[in-house]
Chains A and B, each alone.
Chain A
Amino acid sequence: MNKQRYVDISVGLFMLLGLLALLVMVMKVSGMADLISIKGYQVSADFTDIGGLKVRAPVTVAGVKIGEVTRIELQPGALNAKVTMKLRNDKRIPYEDSSARILTEGLLGSNYISIVPGFEDEESKDHPYLRSGDVIAKTQEAIILENLIGQLLFNIKK
């Protein structure tokens, strides 16, 4: 009887330990990043060249992550890239004059989008902040190292 109870308890503890391990993997190791999807709104921006930007790349303001890229597609007419990103609800960005740039983390790092907020304009009271479905008009394409080197060589030869 006593032995049976010991077996029961240890099997129960074993399963609990497994659940605990799963919890650690979810909370501590993967940071809950995509289980609880952030509440946010979608905005898009058109870029002539996105370089190596990928879905799930971070979107930052002043270096602080406020969202991520959710979709990248090629516009059929203009043949430029439409990047859709999801930004957190609680961070409001002025609509007027905000611009999006594709930057690189360090020299060899991955690409991310940096949004430079514009001014809060007195005249645009009816649409002060970016909201769902907006398109960021001002964009700057990714700086691609090979293109820069190419231009440099071209100029030197001239």
Chain B
Amino acid sequence: MLELISRLGQRGLDGAQSIGSSGLFLLRVLARRPDLPRLWPAIRAQLYFIGVLSCLIIVVSGLFIGMVVGLQGYNTLEKFGAGSQLGQLLALSIARELGPVISALLFAGRAGSALTAEIGLMKATEQLASMDMMGIDPLGRIIYPRFLAGLIALPVLSLIFTVVAIYGGYFIGVQWLGVDSGSFWSNMQAAVNFRLDVASGIIKSVVFAFVAIWIAMFQGFTCIPTAQGISQATTRTVVYSSLAVLGFDFLLTAMMIGGW
């Protein structure tokens, strides 16, 4: 019995310790003078890997999610004779919620896991240790550019997702189901407020980018340097960042609806 309780306590301490060490890790990564001109080639390469190569999955899933929301929304709205409000429903639900959240989940699955595996393998093959020995700070050279690239890439991806999804819904609603194009756009423009809806979506995606890339970097940097350790770290990255994104989404939405 005591054994069980002590094991529970051990778990709790381990959890608290890993949260604290991830905070310290973040502090050590961010508390540096950004030397952007020298880091730019590395950031650019990471932007290509994290951002450009994620475009396809973002565009395709945005298109389909927009089309599905358009179809479902139209069928429900039409029961109340409010099919012309489709534009409003589409723009608000996608710009506020679906755009930032789904692109963050896709980002965690596609880019976050890959970054964890990459850094984990660097650690397993002792590349990070040898950099340290040569007097090169791996946090500045490896982690920092990836961090910045992720912070830039996810908001851009989420904007692309939102626009593609809205046009997907437009395609379904206007071209296929016959909602009037003028009322589709004018209802949308009357309902969408730039500061409250579009900007809050962008703020959300910046926060999600920060959280997702932080978890990916920390899991990669602290993984057990074996094949099994890397695979566990990669799984943890996807699970933890998905949960964190959904949790932060609720918090941010509650804050935004409550007026900060």
Contacts and interface: CB of A to CB of B under 8 A. Distances in A.
Instruction: Report if A and B associate in a common complex.
Output: yes
Contact of B45 (A7, A13, A14): A7
A62 interface: no
A46 to B, nearest CB: 27
Interface string A31-61: 1111100000000000000000000100000
A26 B163 CA distance: 11
B193 A30 contact: yes
Given A7-B44, A15-B156, A34-B194, A29 B189 contact: yes
A32 B44 CA distance: 32
B213 interface: no
A86 to B, nearest CB: 16
A131 to B, nearest CB: 28
B139 to A, nearest CB: 23
A60 B149 CA distance: 47
Contact of B52 (A10, A26, A28, A34): A10
B181 to A, nearest CB: 12
B189 A33 contact: yes
B95 interface: yes
A29 B192 contact: yes
Main secondary structure of the interface of A (DSSP, over half): helix
Contact of B198 (A14, A30, A56): A30
Contacts of A18: 155-157, 159-160
Contacts of A34: 193-195
B44 A11 contact: yes
Contact of B188 (A11, A29, A56): A29
Nearest to B160: A21
A33 B193 contact: yes
Contact of A14 (B51, B95, B162, B193): B51
Given A26-B194, A30-B193, A30-B197, A14 B47 contact: yes
A11 B48 contact: yes
Given A18-B160, A21-B162, A25-B159, A11 B47 contact: yes
A33 B198 CA distance: 12
A22 B48 CA distance: 20
Interface in B182-199: 185-186, 188-190, 192-195, 197-198
Contact of B192 (A8, A10, A14, A31): A31
Interface string B154-173: 01110110110010000000
A97 B55 CA distance: 60
A144 interface: no
B91 interface: yes
Interface of A: 7-8, 10-11, 13-15, 17-18, 21-22, 24-26, 28-35, 56
Interface of B: 44-45, 47-48, 51-52, 55, 91, 95, 153, 155-157, 159-160, 162-163, 166, 185-186, 188-190, 192-195, 197-198
29 contacts: A7-B44, A10-B48, A11-B47, A11-B48, A11-B51, A11-B52, A14-B52, A14-B156, A15-B47, A17-B55, A17-B160, A18-B155, A18-B156, A21-B156, A21-B160, A25-B159, A28-B185, A28-B189, A29-B95, A29-B163, A29-B166, A29-B189, A29-B192, A29-B198, A31-B189, A33-B189, A33-B190, A35-B194, A56-B193
